Each structure stands twice: as structure tokens, then as C-alpha cells.
Amino acid sequence: TTRQLIMSEKLAAIGEITAGVAHEINNPIAVIQGNLEVVRQVMGERADEARTEFRLLDEQVHRISQIVTKLLQFAKPEEYAGFLERHAAKDVIADTLPLVQHLLNKAEIAVTQKHLATRLVLMNRTELQQVFVNLIVNAIHAMPDGGTLTIVSRDEDLETGQGLVIEITDTGVGMTPDMLEKIFDPFFTTKRREGTGLGLSISQTLISRQGGKISVESRPGKGTCFTIWLPEAR
């Protein structure tokens, strides 16, 4: 019936919104977990005085991440309204790197940057940061034995118009052509525990919603390059 149809549409919409929110909660949780560990190390022996508090913090953060994981298991990413502003790619990347710095250090990954782009992009800052976090965290996962992360931005015109590209390149495990066909599919993941398979599909949704494009080149054993093209902000 019509009523059932509307109901199922509503449920689908709720699922999509939930996935977006849940995925956004994931990155701050990773930052909290990483920094909690750093604080404990910095405190040294004094950390013992706050043993109970640290245990509570660990437990509760773990609980949040389990809830988020469960939500993600049935929900799908959704497009939610964004607030658009003009940004220089290099500024947004400069704000993003500290969020993942502890992961880069731990994995012994060096970061090289070259920013030649003079054009600005029109995007929601949080969303653009989310895309960069997704790509950088994937690159880190692809380089368990260390390597180099290279981030380049430059002005470039596609057939579709003026814009700029941001390339995020790793020297990691790379991907086969078979894998490349599936990586933007929601829930496709090769990571057993920490994988949601939503990072790239959400990134692609966010970029294409701003009229941009995301593409990938990869060679097994050599590494991977993700290219984001975004139209110039006018």
C-alpha cells in the first residue's frame, strides 16, 4: 500500500542519515583514543593516580565506538545539507594533519607536501576534512611498515571547467584492478575489524555533491594515488 511505501522510504532515509552521523563520530573517537594514550604516556607514573578515571574513559569511548559500528552495520550514507565556504586546499589539509599525526608517527610515515593551487574550493569545511581524513587514514593502513605520504595541490582544468586537483599518494600495498572496481561501493572493505567500507563511498558522495570528481590509480606493491578534482569557487 501507499502507506507502507512511505514508511519504507522513511526508514531508508533514517538509515542514511544515521550512517552519515555515525561515520562522522568515528573520526573524533579515533582522535580521542589516540590522544588518551599520549596523555597517559606523558603523565608517566602519575597516570596511576587516575587509573580508575582512565579505565572509565577507555570503557566509555569503546562503548561509543561499538554503538557507532552497530549503527553503520545496517545504515547507509546519506547526503545531508552542508554549509558552503571558500577554502584553500592547503589550509584544510594543514588543519587535518594534526588529527592523524599520532597515527602517522606510529606507522613511521613521512609526509611531503607541495601546494601550487591558487584557486579556492567551495565546500563545507568539515566535509572536506572528512574526505582528507578518510584518504589519509586509508593510506596509513596501506603502509604498515612505513613509507611516504605525498599531498599535492594544483590548479587544473577538466573538460567540465576550471578547478583544482588534490592528489594524495601513498607508497603502500596498492590494489589490483579487481579491487579498484569495488572500492567506492558502500560496505566494501578488506579490513576485518576497523573497516566499515564507508570511507570512500561517503568521500565520493561528498565530492560529487560539490560538482567534483574523485579517481584512483594504483599498482599492487607500489602504491596508490587518489585524485580529487573540485570546481573553482566563484
CB of 108 to ligand ADP, least distance (A): 17
139 binds ligand ADP, rule: CB under 6 A = yes
Task: Yes or no: say if 133 and 167 are a contact pair by the CB < 8 Å rule.
Answer: no
Q: Please give the DSSP secondary-structure letter assigned to residue 194.
A: S
Q: Which is nearer to ligand ADP, 87 or 141 (CB)?
A: 141
Beta-ladder partners of 165: 154, 229
Among 142, 152, 214, 228, binds ligand ADP (CB under 6 A): 142
Cα separations in angstroms, 40 against 17, 37, 48, 56 = 35, 5, 9, 14
175 binds ligand ADP, rule: CB under 6 A = yes
20 binds ligand ADP, rule: CB under 6 A = no
131 binds ligand ADP, rule: CB under 6 A = no
150 binds ligand ADP, rule: CB under 6 A = no
**Alpha-carbon distance 128 to 126, whole Å?**
6
| The three three-digit cell numbers of residue 158, written as one number | 577538466
Q: Please give the DSSP secondary-structure letter assigned to residue 155.
A: E
Contacts of 57 (CB under 8 A, 6+ apart): 36
- Given the rule CB under 6 A, which of 1-9, 78-86, 110-118, 169-177 is the region that contacts ligand ADP? 169-177
- Given the rule CB under 6 A, which of 30-38, 59-67, 154-162, 190-198 is the region that contacts ligand ADP? 190-198
Among 190, 208, 215, 220, binds ligand ADP (CB under 6 A): 190
172 binds ligand ADP, rule: CB under 6 A = yes
Q: Residue 189 in 3-state DSSP?
A: coil
Among 101, 103, 154, 188, binds ligand ADP (CB under 6 A): 188
Residues in the chain: 234
Residues 192-221 that bind ligand ADP (CB under 6 A): 195-201
**Alpha-carbon distance 103 to 30, whole Å?**
10
Helix intervals (H) in the chain: 2-43, 51-74, 89-106, 125-142, 177-180, 199-209
| The three three-digit cell numbers of residue 223, written as one number | 602504491
CB of 177 to ligand ADP, least distance (A): 13
CB of 184 to ligand ADP, least distance (A): 7
Residues found near ligand ADP in the complex (CB under 6 A) = 134, 138-139, 142, 170, 172-173, 175, 183, 188-191, 195-201, 224
